[in-house]
Amino acid sequence: MEFGLFYEIPVPRPWDARSELVAYRECLEAAVVADRVGFHSFWTVEHHFLEEFSHCSAPGVLYGAVAARTARIRIGHGVRLLPFPYNHPVRAAEAAAVVDLLSEGRLEFGTGRSATRIELEAFGIHPDDTRSMWEEALRLVVAAWTDDELVWEGKHFRFPRRRVLPKPLQKPHPPLWAATTSPPSHELVGRLGLGLLSFTIGVPPEDLAQRIRLYRQGIAAAEPIGRFVNDRAATFTMVHCADTSAEAAANARDAFAWYAQTGVRQIQTLGRWQQELAQSYATYDYTKAIADMDPGFLTFDYLDGIGACLAGDPDRVIATARRYEAAGCDLMLCLVQPYAIPHAKVLRCIELLGAHVIPAFRNGRAAAAAPAPAEGG
């Protein structure tokens, strides 16, 4: 199992004129440290209008800065939203190709369709259209990358014959991934030959194992959207590693609970909107089950108790991460800054993961060497 760094770029209130500048600077510094200590990849979301929760609305711009400051770490969209008009697929293909060129072939192209009312409604996207639009858009992106000249006639998109430039450096194209939450969609992602980005909140690794099994069933019968099958399974979870488990719990307690509860409330807005529209929930069936749920039970103690987050000293984090490895996870996406953990403690977490946790999974044992001091910490 490999490890990726994952960022939402939260900006807690109270805000001042420099709050977002500081958040982006800290995110970039974290990416540089992660590159140095051996993380496989750096990923961010694309979100719009989610105050405090995520101010990461233009990830492609950020990735240019990350590419310029790093040498080895891969750079992942987690995810690029493909329903239009979030992003026209040809523009998404062009922008991703530039990142792939600037990073010298380090792009991972994760995709998704969005799951909040505030975002979908603002862009005039109907919930019933998102899955078919996402799938067609992704097929169009692949064609834009791989066809010398692109021409397209589909349900959602029409495009006259043009040569889309530039092309990505990776051939035939960067690895393709898709985000999903509901168990049935895990199988769909596999059937489309895409890497799995399993984005769930409050789910123990043993439940993840069942979802990854569904994904593997889909992969076994894959008819890939891309020119090759990406059969890697990634999952996202909150992670905080400190010198002692007591310190880790103290650092992470409030931020982990805030993120989990706020994330569920964001998704609940979509379920309630579908109720207002008298929808059948179509391809967002999981929102029906949580529409009226009180997310207050998602405390740090609950999440930590079921293994739905990783918090502790390196040995404790390794022990919980082994459960994810046993579940079939190939890549763990570590959300190290879910809300308001002090930046120096986030950097220390990244250093400890690089010094102890990542080597334990690379070599089968924890590294004996002490970690270097965190930059800026």
Of 155, 162, 138, nearest to 227 by C-alpha is: 138
Residue 42: strand, helix, or coil: strand
Cα 365 to Cα 356: distance, rounded to the nearest angstrom: 9
* 268 is a domain residue: no
The number of C-alpha atoms within 13 Å of 230 and in the hemisphere containing its C-beta is 23
Q: Is residue 275 part of a domain?
A: no
Structure tokens at 362: 């690379």
pLDDT at residue 291 in the model: 79
Residue at 259 is within a domain? no
Round to whole Å and give the CA distance between 37 and 203: 28
Nearest-10 Cα torsion for 117, 121, 127, 128: 160
Alpha helices (H) in the chain, listed in sequence order: 19-37, 59-69, 89-102, 117-122, 130-146, 183-191, 205-220, 245-276, 286-290, 300-306, 314-326, 343-352, 358-363
Tell which residue, 342, 341, 254, has the closest CA to residue 298: 254
Structural domain contains residue 331: yes
Residues 332 and 1: beta-carbon distance below 8 Å: yes
Distance CA 349, CA 251 (A): 10
pLDDT of residue 376: 39
Over residues 293-304, the pLDDT tens digits come to 899 999 999 999
- In this prediction, residue 281 carries a pLDDT of 62
- The pLDDT of residue 165 is 98
Tell me phi and psi for residue 75, to 5 degrees. -120, 120
Determine what percent of the chain falls in helix, strand and coil, rounding each to the nearest 5.
45, 15, 35
Q: How far apart are CA 98 and CA 104, in angstroms?
A: 10
Does any domain span residue 293?
Answer: no
Kind and range of the H or E run holding 43? strand 41-44
Interatomic CA distance for residues 340 and 87, integer angstroms: 30
* pLDDT for 363: 63
Q: Give burial (CB, 10 Å; 0-12/13-18/19+) of 254.
A: middle
**DSSP-assigned beta bridge partners for residue 179:** 197
Domain count, the chain: 1
In DSSP terms, 159 is beta-bridged to: 152
Give Cβ neighbours of residue 61 (< 8 Å, ≥ 6 apart).
Answer: none
Amino acid in the structure at residue 76: G
Residue 53 lies in a domain: yes
Q: What is the CATH number of the domain that holds 113?
A: 3.20.20.30
Please tell me the distance from the alpha carbon of residue 124 to that of residue 271, in angstroms, as a whole number: 17
Peptide bond into 314 cis (omega under 30): no
On whether residue 345 sits in a domain, the answer given is yes
Q: What are phi and psi of 130, to 5 degrees?
A: -70, -40
Question: What pLDDT score does 331 carry?
Answer: 98
CB atoms within 10 A of CB 362: 13
Low-confidence ranges of the chain (pLDDT < 50): 364-377
In angstroms, rounded to a whole number, what is the distance separating the alpha carbons of residues 250 and 253? 6
Written as one letter, the residue type at 35 is: D
Q: Token pair 């076994």 is at which residue?
A: 220
Q: What are the distances in angstroms from CA 158 to CA 57, 136, 151, 162, 309?
A: 26, 11, 8, 12, 43
What range defines the domain where residue 355 resides?
Answer: 2-254+308-363
Q: Examine residue 271 and state whether it is found in any structural domain, yes or no.
A: no
Q: What is the pTM of this model?
A: 0.94
Look-up of token digits 């049935």: 184
